[in-house]
Amino acid sequence: MADSWFTSKKIIEKSLSYGLHLIGGLKTNRCIYPQGIKIKISDFVGYIEDHDLDVVTFKGKKYKVYRYEGGINGIDNAVVLICWEANSPAGKPTCIVSTDIELSTMTILEYYSIRWSIETSFLYLKDRLGLKHYQMRKLKGLKRFWSIVYLAYTYIEVYRFRKSQEQQEFTLGHAIRSIKGVTFQDLIRFIHLKTVNNVALDELFKILKVAI
């Protein structure tokens, strides 16, 4: 699964080399070859008539879809879905490519709809858990860092799942804020306990590894 930034020839070929098909977004400036004629999708849509479109209902909404099967830039054969919401077919279409030509139109749409949850996962991994902030060069270090980040992500997902049994709409964002709150409370309890036991401030700084 990928968005339109990653449906390049190299990535598609790499996926196929592992025996994996790819479904992803496609920009309208990509070329297709209907009846062997090279044309940009953005230009091709001008030749699509209403009777060429299939109407499908997906997640409560109706869409008009044109299904093309054939070559696209760098790929010999694929399926491209050119889609509009049924009530606004004159707007810019959403284009989806699938290297698995055996899949039905509805199945491709269902698979592609899952992509958004992947995007939100990347957001949390990169912006909330620091996946993009590594500062190391050796592959061994990178793998260890990634393992720690994904372990943290797994912990948050387990925490979120357990909390979602108690209250609805408990998202990953809610889970991260809740964990931060619990951790901060634990820190306050620890400091309070040391204070009650008459631990000197300088010693407390050393325990907490706070430079003074």
pLDDT digits (tens, 9 = 90+) for 30-48: 999 999 899 999 999 999 9
Assess if residue 51 is contained within a domain.
yes
Predicted pLDDT of residue 212:
64
Closest residue by Cα to residue 34 from 70, 64, 4, 58: 70
- Which DSSP letter does residue 110 get? H
- Domain span at residue 88 reads 9-113
Answer yes or no: are the C-beta atoms of 34 and 70 closer than 8 Å.
yes
Tell me how far apart the alpha carbons of residues 55 and 173 are, in angstroms, rounded to a whole number.
Answer: 37
Please tell me whether residues 83 and 65 are part of one structural domain. Answer: yes
Model-wide pTM > 0.75: no
Within a domain: 82: yes
Residues 154 and 84 in one domain: no
Q: What is the pLDDT of residues 71-99, one digit of tens each?
A: 998 788 999 999 998 877 667 899 999 99
**120 or 153: whose pLDDT is higher?**
153
Assess whether 97 and 149 both reside in one domain: no
